[in-house]
Amino acid sequence: MYADCISPDIFGGRSPEEILKLKVWEGNRLKSLGDLFYVRFERDIEEDNIAVKLVGSFIKVRRIGANMSSGKIIVEGNVGMHLGEGMRGGEIIINGYAGSWLGGSMKGGRIEVKGSAGDYVGAPYRGSRDGMRGGQIIIHGDAGREIGHLMRGGTIKVYGSVKHFAGIGMIDGTIFIQGDCAGEAGAAMRNGRIIVCGYIPYIIPTFTIDSIRPNVDVDGEKISGPFYRFIGDIADNGEGKLFISKPRNPHLTFYDKYL
């Protein structure tokens, strides 16, 4: 189901009847929001601060909150792909699991996932080079592969672990991973920073060791290390910085001799 109409920007200024009539694609059929969901309106919300609360499983609903610029969406349950795609402002909070392409190509605003997220967090649509430009994505659980693909700005924080290719092709911005990374962090990155506080099996060979840093600053928060600092991806003339926790990765000590 494609429901880009579920967004505070679109709900704002519309009457309940109009909201119920908003169009939603269910497969190849055009339906209205009222046909598919039970909708309750609470009048006491201030006009300029609209909150949309979604209760239930929205795992098959895509593009919720796409291009939203203000207001708030709260999801009590799981939610499907492309949540908050191209979002410019406002806030989305998910008390559950979020699907792939969470905050894809987002430009601003804030997304917080209490559970885990799927692959391609902040990544652009297939084929596009329009990576995340700004804003903040916070995931308390784990995330999948290729988070922050072609990212150009903003911050992604994952408190759990991530799979392969975190920050692939990254151009700028910050990715912070509290847990482990399955490997290939920063492949083809040109700039920006990736911080891995957990275990990483290996660093790809196109990164060179630069120094050891006692701590790193992420959005004003001091993360204490020490960290190996790598520069790369040299294959793409990159100057990206990869910070890898030294105590959690004793198998990388052979890099010390190159310092």
**Residues making contact with another protein (CB under 8 A):** 28, 30, 124-130
Shortest distance in whole angstroms from residue 219 CB to another protein: 30
Nearer to another protein, 128 or 253 (CB): 128
Q: Give least dist CB 22 to another protein, A.
A: 17
Please name which of 190, 191, 165, 166 lies closest in space to residue 177, comparing C-alpha atoms.
Answer: 166
- d(CA 139, CA 168) in angstroms, rounded, equals 18
> Least CB distance from residue 97 to another protein, whole Å?
24
Report in angstroms how near the CB of residue 175 gets to another protein at its nearest: 22
Nearest to another protein of 101, 228 (CB atom): 101
Q: Which residues pair with 245 in a beta bridge?
A: 227
In angstroms, what is the minimal distance from the CB of 174 to another protein? Answer: 24
* Beta pairing, strands 240-245 & 193-196: parallel
Within the chain, how many helices (H) and strands (E) appear? 3, 13
Q: Which helix (H) or strand (E) is 75 found in, with range? A: strand 72-76
Torsion 35-36-37-43 (CA) sign = negative
Of residues 86, 81, 137, the one with CA closest to residue 113: 137
Based on its alpha-carbon atoms, the radius of gyration of the chain, rounded to whole angstroms, reads 20
For another protein, which is the closer residue by CB, 181 or 187? 187
Q: Which is nearer to another protein, 71 or 124 (CB)?
A: 124
- Shortest separation between residue 187's beta carbon and another protein, angstroms: 17
Separation of alpha carbons 259 and 239, rounded Å: 18
Residue nearer to another protein on the CB measure, 91 or 233: 233
Q: Which residues make beta-bridge pairs with 12?
A: none
Helices (H), 23-67: 33-36
Q: For residues 112 and 130, which CB has a smaller minimum distance to another protein in the complex?
A: 130
